[in-house]
Amino acid sequence: MTAEDKLACADVIVSWGLYRDQRRWPDLLSTFHPDGEIAVSWFRGPFAEFVEHCKRGGVSKHLIMAPLVQVNGERATAETSVVILVRQTIETLAVDMTSRGRFLDRLERRDGRWKVLERAALYEQDRLDPVVPSEAFARMMREAPVAAYPEPYRYMALRLASAGRPLAEPVHYDGAPHTQALVARYRQWLTGSETR
């Protein structure tokens, strides 16, 4: 493990956010291996397919912190705090969603280049705010069925539901059994002790 490897992995992760938000699709594709996969609140599957969906979607902003990278030979894992900002119209009202979470990544070095092999977004806390405060927004939120969703991503879920988009279950958050299994699988993969 070298500082150069850690820096190369961190550069890929931070670059992903810039390319995604600036809609630089070829550059975005270059951050993942061709067989890479991603799981976020609204999509789960091949990364190339995710990018195609992003091309048709709206604008968002990903604030990406410094990743915590662990390297073992040609494999690495990373945990990165993120804040996702999205503006959307719900019931004719302009709203801003803020979601805090982490990216959990598996990266591999192939042909001398580090790229992401798998990413899972883990959600921690979110909120929905009106761009212009109004009684209409307050009424909408009083009537919204937010309690039907887990607290770490309930407003993200409400935002997606209002746009007619289903959640890509299971959605990851701390304490969920499927998230604990994911973390264990990443740990085993890094050490080469995964079940083959």
Tell me the pLDDT tens digit for each residue of 103-134: 999 999 999 999 999 999 999 999 999 999 99
* Model confidence pLDDT, tens digit, residues 71-111: 999 999 999 999 999 999 999 999 999 999 999 999 999 99
Residue 195: predicted pLDDT: 59
pTM of the model: 0.94
pLDDT above 90: percentage of residues in the chain: 92
C-beta pairs of 159-168 under 8 Å, 24+ apart in sequence: 159/86, 159/88, 159/90, 159/95, 159/97, 159/128, 160/41, 160/42, 162/88, 162/90, 162/91, 163/88, 165/42, 166/42, 167/41, 167/42, 168/39, 168/40, 168/41, 168/42, 168/43, 168/44
Q: Which helix (H) or strand (E) holds 3?
A: helix 3-21
Q: Is 175 strand, coil or helix?
A: coil
Residue 57: predicted pLDDT: 86
Q: How many helices (H) and strands (E) does the chain have?
A: 6, 8
Token pair in block for residue 106: 């598996």
